[in-house]
Structure formats: C-alpha cells, structure tokens
Structure 1
Amino acid sequence: MRSLKDYEKKRDFDVTPEPRAALVEAGGDHLSFVVQKHDASRLHYDFRLEWDGVLLSWAVTKGPSADPSEKRLAVRTEDHPVSYGDFEGTIPEDEYGGGTVMLWDTGWWEPLHDVSEGLKKGKLHFRLHGARMSGGWALVKMKGKSGEKRDNWLLIKERDDQAGRTPNALTNKYRTSVTTGRSMRAITHDHDAQDPVDHAKPLPRFREVELATLKDAPPEGDGWQHEAKFDGYRCLMAVGKGGVRLYTRGGKDWSDRFEALCAPAATLDCDSVLLDGEVTAGGGGGDFSTLQKALKRGDPLTYYAFDCLALDGDDLTGEPLKDRRAALEKLFEDQPPRGPLRLSPVLEGDGHAALDAMCRAGGEGIISKRTDAPYRGGRSKRWIKSKCVRRAEFVVAGWSPSDKKGRPFSSLILGSYEDGDLVYRGRIGTGFDEADFDTLMSELKPLARKTSPFDGDLPSEAKGAHWVTPKIVVEAEYTEFTSEGRIRHGVYQGLREDKEAEDVSAKAEAETDSGDTAAICGVRVSSTGRVVYPDAGLTKGEVAQYYADVAERMLDHAADRPLSLLRCPDGISEDCFFQKHAGKGFPDGVRAMPIEEKDGGTEDYMYVSTPDGLVGAAQMGTLEFHIWGAHRDRIERPDRMFFDLDPDEGLDFADVKAAARDVREGLDAVGLSSGVMVTGGKGVHVVVPLRRIAEWDTVKYFAKTFAHVMAERDPDRYTATMSKKKRKGRVFIDWLRNERGATAIAPYSLRARPGAAVAMPVSWSELEDLKRPDGFHVDDARDRLSQACPLSRIEPHGIGKSVVEALEAWSKD
C-alpha cells in the first residue's frame, strides 16, 4: 500500500475537520473516484482516484473539461485517505488547504491498463462512471522543466459519446454539491442541505406492495420499463403531517432503523407522499451484507424511489406507471444526484439489452414493468423479475432466414460435437448488431451446404434453415438448458476464434445444467431432488432453499468472516470433508480472500457476503458453515469469543445447561455479556460479542484462563483440558475455538447429522425449558425469523485492562 505520511504531516487534526490518515483495503466491487471543488488560496478542483488503499490526487486548476481539445493542467499532490472521498466542509483558513470543499462529483472508475505501470510511465487511461463525469479519460504526465518541483500532468477527455464541445460546460452547469445539493456559500456557512417542508396533508398509510414474478428472461415487445434489481430492503416511505414513516414490505415500521433517511425525506417538497423504493447502503452501491453493516453502525443509507403511490392527498395507484413515474421525477427534480434520496434509473434498450448491461456490470438482474399498468398489491405478472444468465460456446450449423429488411437471418442454428456426432443445441436470435450480421454472413456463406449436418429429426424451429459446414464457434448467454438439452433465451455474445469446433463447452454446460435443477437466489442449483438427509428426507434443493430463507438472519453472524465448510456432496451417509481454502468451481457468491498463515505463507480462504453465497455453497454440497471469530476487514481483531460446552457421554443435557449458567455468571462477574446457542449436536455454545480492541493472543489467553479458573473452582464438574481421561464425568469448557484460524459452527447452520438439526441461538430463559440441544429443525428456524435473534441484543465489550483485572479478582474468590 502507498503512504499517507505527507498527508498527515501537513495537517493538524485537532483543528481541521478533515479525516485522519488511514490506509484501507479495497472494499466493494469498484474503485471509487471523487472530484472536490476546493476554494483555497486559489479555486481549483481536486481529482482523486482510489488505488492501493489511498486516493491518488491531482489539483486541476480550471476544473475538468468534457471537451477533448481542452487539456487541463492537473498538478499531482499528496495521496489522501479513502475516507477523504466523503469530506465536504470548510478547512480553517490558517490550515494547509484552508477554504471550502464541495463534493462536486463521485462515482467509480475503471482502469484500462495496469495502474502501477501507468503511474511509472506517466500515462493513465480509464473510464469514469460518475454523476457528472463519465466515459473515457486520460491523465498524461508533462515533461518537467529544469529545477521544477511540481509534478504536472494533463487531464484530457477522450472522444466518445460523453464528450462535449464547450470547454467550461461541466463546471458552469454544475455548481452545487453532488451529495447535499449545497452551494459553496451554503457549505461555508454550514447551512443544512435543504430545509424541512411544512407538509399540510395527513401522513399516508401503509399499503400492500406489488411484487414481481420471476421469469427466465425479460418480456419481449414494447410497453415495458426496465429498472435495476437492487440488493437491499424494500421500503415504503410515507411523508406528511406528523413526520416521516419508513415501512418494510411487510408493513413493519422501521423508521428507527432507517433513521438516516428521515431528515432527507422531510425535505421533499409536497403536501404528502407515499413512495415505493429500496434502501441500500452508503453511496447507493454495495450488497445486502454491506447494508446490514451500515444499519448496525448507523452509516449513511440511500433510498432509490421507483414508484409514487400517493401525492398531495391523491391516490395514484389507479394511474398507469408512466404517469406515476412522471410525478416521481418531478418530485425529485431538486434532489442532488448522489444524495440520500435518488430515482431508480430506467435502463435504456429492450429487456434483453438491459439485462445484459446489468449482468456485465455485476448486477443482480432487472425488474421489467408494464408502463400502462396500475399499481396493485401482491404478486403480479405486470412486474417481471429476471436475473443474470449463463454462457457457453456452440458450433454454428446453419441459419434461419429473416423477412425483416436489413437483417440477413433471424437466428443461428447451434450444435456441439459429442462423441463424433453433432448434437442439436437450439438457436439464438437476439444480441446481434449490424456489424455482427456482416461479420457472421461473411464467415458463413463460404461454408454453405445443401444438407443438414445433424443426424436424425430436428424440431420444427429448424425448418427452412440454410445449412453450413459446422466450423464457426460462437459464444452465447442463456438462462438454462431445457430437458431436451437445448438453450433457452439465448443471446449472441460474439465469435470465438480461439476455439476449435470440437472443443466447445456446450456439452459440459448442458450436463451440469441438466436434470432436476432450480434457480435459488440467482444460483443454478443442480440435483435438487438428491436426498442428503435420508432419515429426515431432506433433499439438496431443500437445503439450498433453507439457506436462502434464513440468509438475512444467518448473514448477520456469518457474513464476511473466513469460513470452513463441511461438504457432503452425496449426503451424510457418504463421505464428508471440511474445506477452508477456496477452490475452483464454486459459484461467484462464494468469494476468496488472502490470509497469511502461521508459516508466513498466504492462502485464499472462503467467505460469503450475500444470500447467493450461502446458496452457492449449498450447491457445492455444503451442509455446515463454520466461522472465524473475526471479520475480514480487521482479521487480527476478533469480535466474538466462544466457549463450547462439551459433556462427557455419561452426562445429560441438564448438566450442560447448568454449566452454561455458570459460565454466564463468571462472564458477568468480569464485565462481559454473553448469549447462548444450542449447537444442534450434544453441546451448547456460550457466545461473547467483543469490541475489537484486543488481538488474537489476548482473546485466546483470556479464554484459556477463564476456562481453567472455572475448572479450578469446581473440578468435579468441569475440565479445561481436552483429554478424554480428564473429561470423564465432567463438562469440557472448550476455549480452543478462540485461536486464530479456529472456527465454530455458525448460528442457523444445519448440522450434518441424522435429523438435520439446526444450530439455534436461544434466550437464557428459553434455555431452561429446552429438553435437548438438537431439537430445532429447518421449519423451526423459519418460524423464528419473525422474532429478533437473541444474540443481536447483547452489548459487546472489549477485553481491556479492567476486564483482565476483574478476571484476576474473580479467580481468587
């Protein structure tokens, strides 16, 4: 990582409101960029790109220009912390850089070559995806003059669709903050972004939300509006006399959890309004796990509004979507483009083009809505949800003629060579542009033949085809293979000149995709009917669906932690094995992170952040999830401590419950709060949430000392030694799960044992009435989702000096 020493040296952080220097690991899927208008001794624009844990920074004296012929001087300055990208305010006049700073643009950037090499050679090419700056740009280093200390570069717009013709159009057009909508003057005087509005009409009531129907592909034809599918919380926002209310899709009032959105909502200029939308984390991006963390920490939230159900006392649900959208856009006219309240963008092009663009950007999928339809609560076919699709290579065996002018064919006939024979794999009819038609026809015409290259009968869709010798390889995206082995909803992606006809992937993809499959959380789950728990009759598909159902709750505890997975690909009756290092073949939701091991080497460990990660692991035969006691953002600072109470075979569950109570009392005595979880096996875990102030060695030493003190206080009942001999007639207080690299069963995880029990957090009072530690199963877990998780109510404490001293005092009682 780069250094922030120069940044830190120039600032007095007791005086300036700027953020302190802090290097960070890359977070999220995109690198951020920010432009800050800075009225210091001389007005300029600070252009910053996130790279290697910092913001690379240039001072652009006249501001960026979208005119490619206008080369703007950009003086390289010291690297800034990534957190500086959120800074807007006034630096005291006597401080370095004293003056007003406005967040003028934010977004993400896409390097077009190796950044380190570009910095060294003095030429950076990149694309910007901001609210105001977009498209291709370049930073080019100028040749320095003799004795010149400044590091001068030029910021240049590339000639593309986002280029302009007027040198100062960008800076003249946009004079307010991209996040708060404030002017430089308002920022200088610390005025609020917008004043609350006096809403004259009553607060609209909650109403049932409209839900989309899942389909394999977007709808065809006109009359549909396509929007991004967000990875957040569905939310109805009610504004009126009496304030702001924010409801979940089920009608729960979450105004307190979404509190960060209440003040911005109160500034909406209307008498009253009821909006439908989605709450996401931070700057409007991030996945569901990021949102969960933002809610816990009180971080900023973003609300994407996509429908207006009532406005100024009038019910709009009977009006067509296009009219509701017009009302929504007018209401949001004065909202800053990167503020906390935003319009859900409407995606250009037809449904297939919109879905393709979303998948390329790494999105969830799209929602397609009838523009002439009213708003109705419940599941609707007027709203269609389609998710990102799969790809394979095929051999072109022919083409079907088209009756449309300028289109030489309507579809390509596809196949794959399998055991020497050409097998029919369906056709593709979308995804082509004019250049594709020209290229493909020039390649296919010389290969024309009179007879079909396939053996046997063909479906009616191939009737009238023009056949070719199968040599040309293409890549296509698709939603699935049908039971006949043909692709559904294929979309052309391009020629594959690097592939021989005999080497295409269609056969392998079809075999993977065949049989009893289902799409769960966007993951293609194969062999859904395979029974993995014979005594319980639970199938692989039911396991995957269970993890989808409990994902929100389970990820509160398991997201973004290194994992060990217990995989039983053929069920618990066959071989099972643990896996902690990332391997090939896992779905994208199961991610990898490098962790340094004891021997100094580095290995990639697995983690999940989203529901598709849990389901993706289940697709690979995972039954149990075991988690580290630390999150990946601060891997050396544990935030959980575990005590596994493991009874000798001669003891019953009452003895384990008594041990749990004793452990709790001991932890209370030293100032640590704890919760309890029945493991789904024979024991109980006492779970201690921690503030992240201590490292692994401290937590491990504390846990070991605590367990040994327990054993010394009551040696007839407890042991802190793993030895089977020492455990006889006692409960083993297992403190070893608090070592770096050790894991414990995740809350809500299934257990790979007969009965398919679930590791279930319970309240201390509930524990008293339980008869056994493996009495919760998948339906019980689903039923409990309507209640708060008992572990979420526990206040974390740090293992600091006072706790250690209390442990020492308690050990002497």
Structure 2
Amino acid sequence: MAGRWGNKGKKTTRRAADDLAGAMPSLIEPQLATLVNRPPSDGEWSYEIKFDGYRMLARLDHGAAQLFTRNGHDWSGRMPTLRAALETLPVDDVWLDGEAVVLDAAGLPDFNALQNAFDRRSTSKIILFFFDLLYLNGTDLRDQPLKARRALLAELMGEVHTEALRYSEDFAQDPDSLVASACKMKLEGIIGKRADARYRSGRSADWIKLKCLLRQEFVIGGFSRLRGAKTGIRALLLGVYEPDGSFRFAGTAKQNLRPSQISALEKKAKALVRKASAFYNPPAADKDRDYVWLEPRLVAELSFLEWTPNGEVRHPVFHGMRDDKPAAAVTEEPMVDVENGEPIEAETGSTRVQPGRRGNVTLSGQKISNAERVIDAVTGLKKIDLVRYYDEIAVWALPYLQDRPVSLVRAPNGIQGELFFQKHEERMRIPGITKLPTALHPKHPPLLAVDAHEALVGLAQMNVIELHTWNAVQPDLEHPDRFVLDLDPDPSLSWRMMTEAAELAKVLLDEVGLKSFLKTSGGKGYHIVIPLTRRQGWDEVKAFSQGIARHMARVMPDRFSAVLGPKNRVGKIFIDYLRNGKGASTVAAFSARARSGMGVSMPVAWEELREIKAADQWTIHSAVQRQRSLGEDPWQGYWRCRQGLTAAMRRAIGLK
C-alpha cells in the first residue's frame, strides 16, 4: 500500500476537500515580494529571514530532479550535488520554492561566496533553503493557504537527512525587532507573508520585504577608468530600464572586486563595447576619467542607502554579478506604502505615489492634499515625501515629542517661500494634536504637544516642516528636564573643526560629571543634549548653560565664542545657550529642516562622531533606513539618566 508521501516515500499526501488533482506543471513562475516602508499591522503574517542568495525552484518528476532560476532557466547541470540531494526526497512528484545560498563560518549567507561557487564551478557547498511547497504527488497546493502549505513542508523536511536541503524557519517576534536583529547580523532583511493567502505567481502585496538597506539588481552600461589608461575599471556605470523600455543612468559604483573578478569582468565587457552610450541620460564628461560604453547586458547586484531625487543611487556597494536575471527585466524596484495596516498592491509600471483626484492621496487614513506639489525646488522633493517621512519615523520620534510643548515651522509655499513660526493651533484643526491646559501657561492660548502618530502625519499634511520643542514636559513646565548646547559654526569653518568642537565639549561635560547625548542639527552644526532631573528652575539651568559656554570660550578663545552675533563668531563656533530659557525651543530629534535637501536632526552615538561628514548627512529619504539598520539605540541610556546640577559643577566652570 502506498504511504503518505507516495509509492517512493512510503507515505501519501492528505488531500483537502477541494483537492486539485491534475497534471504536474512543467514550469511555475515564482511569487515575488513587494518592498514596503513598514510592517503591516493588520492581518495574520509570518516572517522569515531574507536569504542573500539565488531564488531557486525545485521540481521532482518521478524521481528525476530539476532546478530552475526565477526566470525559468534550468540550472540542474550547474548544481549536481543539490540535484542528487533532491532525488533522495521521499516523494514521487513535487514542486518546492526556495533560495540557494552558501553559508560563511558564522552560519550566515554569503552572497560573494555563492557567486564564487558558480564562477569556479564548485557548487558542492551550496545549500537550498525551502520556504514553500507548491505541488505534491498529483495535488496542486497553490490555492491552499500559506500556513497549510508550510505545515506540510515542515513535515516533509522533517524526513530529510541531508544538510544540503533545509527548512526556512519562520519567527514569532514582532517584525520591527526581527528587522533590527537581521540588520545587526548584517543580513539583508526579512520577508513577510500573509498566512492565509494562496500562492500567486508574480509580484503581489501578499508577500512583502523589509530591508536593512535598499538592494537590487542594476545593469552595467559602462565603466570609467583613469584618463588615458588602456586597462582597468575605476567605477561601474549603473542603469535601470524605465517602464517605456528606455535605459536610465542610475549612478556610479566603485568596484571592490578581487583581481580575478576584475579580469573576468573585463573579459565579458570586451565583447560588449560600443561607441556610444546606451543611457538616454549619460553621465557628464569628466576631465580625469574616460568612459567605456557597453551593451546593457551585464547585471550586478548592489546595496545602497537611498534613491536621490534625480534617480541615482547614493552610497552604492557592489555585491556581485547576476546571471539568473535578464538585463531587460531590471527596473527601479518601487516601495509601496502600508495604509490602514495593509500594504497597497503595486501596479505594473506604477509610480511610488498613487494620486487620487486633484493630486490627493490617502496615507495612514488621512487625505493628503497636493501630494505631488514640489516643496524643495532645488532637489525636487515633494509634499508626499515629507508626509511619508513623518509617517515612517513616528515610532522613533514620538518619545521625544510626547508631553513636550512644540512650536511649528510651516511652509505653505515650499521651503523657498515664506516660513511661518507657530506655537498655538490658531485656526488650524490638527487631527490627534494635544492641547495643553491653559493653567500651565497662563494668559496664552493652549500650548500644543504631539503625542500621537495621527498628529505627526496631520502636521505634515498641513505643511509643517520643522518641530521645535521646549526643554520641559507637562505637567511641570517650571522645571526643565534637559538643557541643550547648540554648536553653531562660522560657515567658513571645516567640518573637521565641528567634529573637534563636539569632542572638546564632551570632554568638559565629562569632567564636570554630566552625561551628554549628541545629535546633528540637520542644518549646520551639532546639538548636545544634557538630560536633568527636574530639580532646578529655568534661571538656574540657563545660567549654568551660559557658564559652560563662557568657560569654553575663555579656555579656547580661538575656537569658541559665547557672544551672539555673526561678527563674534568669525572663524569660531558660537556655543548657543539661549535655547535654555522658558518658552525657548530647539529643533526636535528626527525633525526635518526647512532647508534645501531637507536634512534631519538625527540622534547619533558619540562613537560615531568621526564618521559623520555633515550636519545634514541624513535626509527625509535616508533617516528611516538608518534607524532600521541600527543594532542598538545611539542614545542608549538617555531615558534612565538621572543627574542634576551641583555646587561642585558650578565651581568647575567658574560660577559662584
């Protein structure tokens, strides 16, 4: 009698009531995941590691195994060890979906090692992780829910006795924690799958991916080399195909290949050299470089920080060549929004923003008017970019906003137009905003606080660019819980001088016994934030912060000034202590700035100081990605910090 897995395996499959018996498919197009900006909050989802390898579908037909790439190419002959392992499965006929990887010494996927395995035709160490079961012994399982398919897959893989074939586990932790763990382990990210969904070939929002860094394939349209050189590759010229089939220049990437890889690439490129660029928007000529143009056929995989407004990648890192995907299929991978807890289905050829009538869109349940209106004429950033930023950054920004009076900088006509500074709601009706009791600030309209995600998105919809907060939280607005030193440089100073100034300020604060935390201003300098227990009043705290500024200016008069005014900081850094009085405010952590490029005030660890290159290093396009990629909070310990101003501290800086 046949068993549960069939005659070969001594077992046969349980058939569901709606069993779809029929001929075994000769080829199955894989289901693909959609890149999303944050995890969905609704529905039942399971999450798996996103493997850094090659997508591979496996077919076993009456004991004969085949391995197919995502584009249907038969690679069985390139992986004889895996093919032999597949033929040991205790089934007659099966289709499995998975990822081929090579693991490093730490047990993590190593894409470079996988590429080397194929280049050297030494594929015995490739492992195939299976994450889906599509067909089994006459039953097409693709209409079954994912959780049913994976339950059957787990049972099948439990009877496999080879390390070459493994089951891809799913994890119960919340997706934000999983992404953070994946990034800390230098993995690519995670994949989320709707547990009750059928298998749908092609890209859909039933499968999503959350990445540590943006990563995708690019077509190599040429390379640069030093002017006059006959050999060598200085940088790769990257491209992607537009929906209309035209080939767009997407930036340059320095090659970080080994000599053998450079030689192999040059050999491939030699047969593809062409006289003119295939890009419709080729890079500008460079007096120090020659360009070698290529037929756009070679595909490489790179990670990068963000897309710039002009459609190029920022800070790309080369990972390897790909020959499992045709060049013509390489396009800019769109990122879709998660709205009302659900990812939006992406449409073929669609843009990242789906405008409604009159250019309106809906995001997080709120209607966003004039979403496509440009708010930064220099970079082309649009209102929807700002709204999406505040929507995505809210989880990190809200703890620094809650219960704290906020002042708003609005730009109704874009950041090049007139800016309005606003402390009260006035005639605006802001969804979710908190109006503080008037007793906390008598004889004034109610102060505002941003305590909810809804309020943060609502402010962006109302053209609020910047959020500035007090140094106190309700209900006790008479005793500050921090003070801030704003390092404001003469524009002529180098960034190295700013770095050294921040280091010197930290040394002084350490010496007097105060723990401090650093953030970029998003504009020109740094903000040093010193948390306090709420024992001192405003006058005492402001006097102390002024004492620090004067002490540093007195000790290092060639570097620092404690006197307001451009003429007093020529060639120096003004230590602005004036933000520490009652009612004064400082731009909040994670706030965007109303400056071209729209930098962000970003919390950073002191250990990162030497790596930071500018006060606006992170923008509304890159700040969220940075936060997702962090292993730990740069301001770790901030909320547990308990410190006050003592007589000894005052004496140390020359105060009575």
Q: Which TM class, normalised by the smaller chain length?
A: 0.3 to 0.5
Q: Give the structure with higher Rg (CA).
A: 1
- Identify the structure with bigger relative contact order (alpha carbons < 8 Å, sequence gap 6+): 2
* TM-score normalised by length of structure 2: 0.46
